[in-house]
Amino acid sequence: MKFLAEYRDPKVAHRLLDEIRSAVTRPWVIMEICGGQTHAIVRNGIDELLPTEIELVHGPGCPVCVTSLELIEKAQAIASIPDLIFVSFGDMLRVPGGRKDLLTVRSEGADIRAVYSPLEALKIAKEHPDRQVVFFAVGFETTAPNTAMLVAQAAREGVGNLSLLVSHVLVPPAMTALLDSPRNRVQAYLAAGHVCTVMGWQQYEPIARKYSVPIIVTGFEPLDLLSGILSAVRQLEAGDANVENRYARMVSREGNRTAQQQVGEVFEICDRAWRGIGVIPRSGLRLREKYQAFDAERRFAAIDLQVAESPDCISGVILQGLKKPAECPHFGKRCTPSIPLGATMVSSEGACAAYYLYHRSQPRVKD
């Protein structure tokens, strides 16, 4: 298949690996910011094929994983309201809150439905005009345009029984928050190609300059990732810190202006709590005043919850690239996809789920 098979060519992969081995002279820590990239790296064994001087660490690039515990609990409380229809992407149904998940709430009688597109929530709302319908809007910049389109269309059509529980988050503020941390280990980033398809890569240029960190935009196939790692290593070795686009077949510097305009029309930037990390200033999206009628948190304002994360879950330090899933004493034992302690074991983009799925139960041993 065009734009797929040619990016999985083993001969080219080995050539790129040889170039990486030739380029590296000292240890470097590179973070892939996207959970989809994490799964591709672990599935293809890329981190194990690299020279031991290069350590790949996994960032907070899974929107399901970083949705705050308080918002998960609020989702469960709203979903439990009689006669309400709660609509969500399927990944969110298994994410544990303080005591249970949305699947458990559904088993207790709540009407909770999994969808593939936000616009399905509009269809459900129009089919059930006598019931409140709440869509759990989760995702990075990649999915925000679809959510914005849902809100704009619902407003145009005057659909009054639809509201949104918004948990959209933004990648660049999370990157800077990690770099500002006194525990930071990141020396270069692999930026998420699908986010950059929407937003472009101009927003990364000030980060690269301020923190002297190379940022390489990459895709999700083995050759995309190896090419990105090679570019990062070459810049690190040369003392450079630039934004480099290694996903040119999909990403431009400006991104998708139409999608950006749709998001800007419906949403404004706000502070957002990230699960396992804390509040990151200006890292989220919320509905503009013009669209506040669609805000589920306002519509169901009586719900206010304070909950605590499981003390046994280390997903917070995993999301910050400080530990690997296999370093958790509960990995694969008390914590599995069937009985997860945290969101990183549930989501299809979670680092713990990747390690479990591809049988990566031991940390990589350095030479």
pLDDT in tens, 46-88: 999 999 999 999 999 888 899 999 999 999 999 999 999 999 9
Query: What are the tens digits of pLDDT across the range 170-224?
Result: 999 999 999 999 999 999 999 999 999 999 999 999 999 999 999 999 999 999 9
Domain assignments of the chain as residue spans, ordered by start: 16-63+171-245
pLDDT of 53 reads 97
Which percentage of the chain shows pLDDT scores above 70? 96
| pLDDT of 366 above 60 | no
Chain segment 135-172, per-residue pLDDT in tens: 999 999 999 999 999 999 999 999 999 999 999 999 99
Digit-coded pLDDT (tens) for 252-268: 999 999 999 999 999 99
pTM over 0.85: yes
Q: What is the 3-state secondary structure (H, E, C) of the chain?
A: CCCCHHHCCHHHHHHHHHHHHHHCCCCEEEEECCHHHHHHHHHHCHHHHCCCCEEEEECCCCHHHHECHHHHHHHHHHHCCCCCEEEEEHHHHHCCCCCCCHHHHHHCCCEEEEECCCHHHHHHHHHCCCCCEEEEEEECCCCHHHHHHHHHHHHHHCCCCEEEEEEEECHHHHHHHHHHCCCCCCCEEEEEHHHHHHHCCHHHHHHHHHHCCCEEEECCCHHHHHHHHHHHHHHHHHCCCCEEECCCCCCCCCCCHHHHHHHHHHEEEEEEEECCCEEEEEEEEEECHHHHHHEHHHHCCCCCCCCCCCCCCCHHHHHCCCCCHHHCCCECCCECCCCCCCHHHCCCCCHHHHHHHCCCCCCCCCC
Record: fold of 16-63+171-245: Rossmann fold (3.40.50)
